Amino acid sequence: MDDDDEDSTDIGNDEDSPPVPVPVPDTVQVDSSPMYRVEKKLGKGSFGQVYVGRRMSATGPGAVEVALKFEHKTSKGCHYGPPYEWEVYNAVGGIHGIPRVHYKGRQGDYFVMVMDMLGPSLLDVWNTITSHRMPSKMVSCIAIESISILEKMHSKGYVHGDVKPENFLLGTPGTPEEKKLFLVDLGLATKWKESATGQHVEYDQQPDGFRGTVRYASVHAHLGRTGSRRDDLESLAYTLVFLLRGRLPWQGYLDKILVCKQKMATSSKSLCCFCPKPFKEFVDYVVNLKFDEEPNYAKCVSFFDSVVGPNPDARPINTDGAQKLVHQVGQKRGRLLIEEEADEQPKKMIRMGKPATQWISVYNSRQPMKQRYSYNVSDSRLAQHIQKGYDDGLFISCITSCSNLWAIIMDAGTGFTSQVYELTPHFLHKEWIMEQWESGYCITALAGANNGSSVVVMSKGTTYTQQCYKVSDTFPYKWINKKWEDGFYVTSMATAGSR
């Protein structure tokens, strides 16, 4: 993404910056929800912000206290309507470890979700510990339950895409759910499985397409590879080591490329130094998963079986979600059902923390483009957008206007060799057009705005040998018929104001 005011990407989305979001409303009522008073801010997610909502009526349906997630209509996830996160919640709603969404709808400039109120995040809990090191038994319980939650989310065809301590929350303190673990913030979730075919999505790589949180992202995410189930588990591995050791080897690096290199250079032995053996076993397993490989979640849980102990009631974190992965084989203790892997060949360890001969891919972060569009462009920003296209070897092929804002298509395949344009407060500046004709330019695009202003684009390298134009207050059908008889064709047309 360019570091300017526009929301722009290399695949064709340049847009003027949205207005500063208005404050969230004082009260909220969406869908058929009760009226809630908006109270203190709880935090901010990938795309939205979360507040406490308190039911204003003393009696009636709905929880007294809820979490209200607000996402402004101009947010990146709302360009085509309701937030993308709503689609994910619709797909994974009701599974273990995902908070319930009770109501959702739009109020004013905001899309609002009314959700279960939860307790502190794992990062909040970690911060209350003086040593900043959680006990191994607690982290092992977190591992078991997190693996279970991810398995259930993956079974719905989605990967979370941003697994980290901040996105795991405990239940509300003082309630029966205070020891339960929940995974929140689904704004970066993506599909690993095609809905229509049930097949795994195809592998792709966009080196400048990083998504996630640098500290916990998988190496594959750093390299711009399509997200799959292995990435959630690798991010979980880094999360667990952070909670247990209090620090990751790459903390403090400001450049995400350096972070990626450090992750690749850090062996599991070094990463899990002073950690119980199960953590190294888990890291070794997840970093060696293939792109489309189905993780053996039961095996992952089994690594921590010896640490958490046999009595679920004595565990600091509720691990009920892992029960489907548990097979009771005796009265003394439960053991995990692990799929038979007798016919599996030993895997080659692909991340040993040692230098190796590798292919190095060199790429340009702004790949050559065949076409780009920009829309909602104001008069003051038009020149900047067009110049950006010229710098990338593109020429204007089409331009139009709506509500006095411009939309432009710039193309690498026009065949033009040179181009000029003029933005004028009047509809078609005759003197300027005549000047450009004399210099060998021809009109290739034009547009008018409601306020009467216009843009004329003239280019060299066209197939035109002669041009003429007419400005009229009514549609000039007689003039067009006459020009057709003379061998001319209509190539551009526009309106501005009443003309």
Beta bridge partner(s), residue 448? 454
292 is catalytic: no
- In angstroms, the Cα distances linking 199 to 188, 228, 243, 408, 467 are 21, 12, 35, 38, 55
Sign of CA dihedral 208, 213, 219, 225: negative
Q: Considering 10, 162, 231, 232, which one is annotated as catalytic?
A: 162
Find the Cα–Cα–Cα–Cα dihedral 156, 160, 166, 170, rounded to 10°.
10
229-245 vs 136-155: helix axis angle to the nearest 10? 160
Residues 6+ apart with CB under 8 A from 261: none
CB atoms within 10 A of CB 267: 17
CA distance 223 to 261: 10
Tokens of 9: 């990407």
Residues 6+ apart with CB under 8 A from 469: 428, 433, 443
Residues 6+ apart with CB under 8 A from 283: 237, 241, 268, 271, 272
* 69 marked among binding-site residues: yes
Tokens of 385: 């957008």
The answer to whether 233 and 289 have CB atoms below 8 angstroms apart is yes
Q: What string of DSSP letters covers 254-293? A: --HHHHHHHHHH--HHHHTTTS-HHHHHHHHHHHT--TTP
**Rounded to 5 degrees, what are φ and ψ at 389?**
-70, -45
Residues in the chain: 499
CA 117 to chain centre: 24
Which positions make up the binding site for ATP?
A: 69
Catalytic residue positions, numbered: 162
Which positions make up the binding site?
A: 69
